[in-house]
Amino acid sequence: MNGHAIAGKLAGKTAVVTGAARGLGRAYALRLAALGADVAVVDIRLDAAREYGEALTEESVAAEIERLGRRSVGIQADLAQHDEAVGAIRKAHEAFGRIDILVNNAGGALTPTERSRASETPEQDTRFLLDINYMSAVHCCQAAAAIMKSQRSGVIVNISSQSGITTYQQGLLAAYSAAKAALTHYTRYLAAELGPYGIRANCLAPGIMMTSRVAAQAALRHIGTNEEAATVFRCDASDKSRTAPACSNS
């Protein structure tokens, strides 16, 4: 497939990517823009890259997307809060006039690892991790689904984790993994419900990725990069996944 064809794959489409101010979310947003989509960048802090020392090529991810020749808007919101999540989706819809793609990437294992075993995790950690990894996605899915139903089309990609499928080393990250497992199964139900409306719901489960937050802790022989993860969902986001049994990254 030539570069021009790849670049135009999502021409005319609009996307919302949560947790997109840095890391994997930024990589997803930039990949969608490179494929031709206009992208709304949603995050609890639009300057999050600065906190982790992640270098941007422009002053913001939205500006990076605009540099690629696509429209973009930055929306700051705490997606664990229902009203803020609904408001973020509404702002994206108002900016672009439609929502073709929703990528729920916001979240993370953002509580102390040393107290993350199943028998030890404090209630406040469990509730926090469920809120940012599961409820944030549910809020956005429900808000976007209403719009996509009226369009009779759309794609939802929820970002889970390998720890939501298998057991993390030494039994750590129990509550985070449970939240991601819940998101994985929620996506199955979402797909079953929304399929008749022409809406696809898919789930990706990356392993540990070389984001700026984990770079200093790398102990494995290979950790996936943001760019590697971003290439995977190109097929999920495009119309070709309606019929293609598999997706090539070529």
Give the residue numbers annotated as catalytic, written as ranges: 176
Q: What is the amino acid identity at position 113?
A: T
Grouping H, G, I as helix, E, B as strand and the rest as coil, residue 40 is strand
The answer to whether 129 and 110 are in contact (CB under 8 A) is: yes
Q: What is the amino acid identity at position 68?
A: L
192: exposed, middle or buried (Cβ count in 10 Å: 0-12, 13-18, 19+): exposed
Joined together, the tokens standing for residue 152 give 């009779």
Q: Which of 68, 64, 48 is nearest to 56 (CA)?
A: 64
Joined together, the tokens standing for residue 78 give 């705490």
For residues 224 and 234, give the distance between their C-alpha atoms in angstroms, rounded to a whole number: 17
In this structure, the strands spanning 101-104 and 154-159 are: parallel
For residues 101 and 91, give the distance between their C-alpha atoms in angstroms, rounded to a whole number: 15
In sign, the C-alpha dihedral spanning 134, 27, 155, 204 is negative
The answer to whether 125 and 116 are in contact (CB under 8 A) is: yes
Cα–Cα distance list, 199 to 12, 103, 134, 190, 203 (Å): 17, 13, 20, 9, 14
| Residue count of the chain | 250
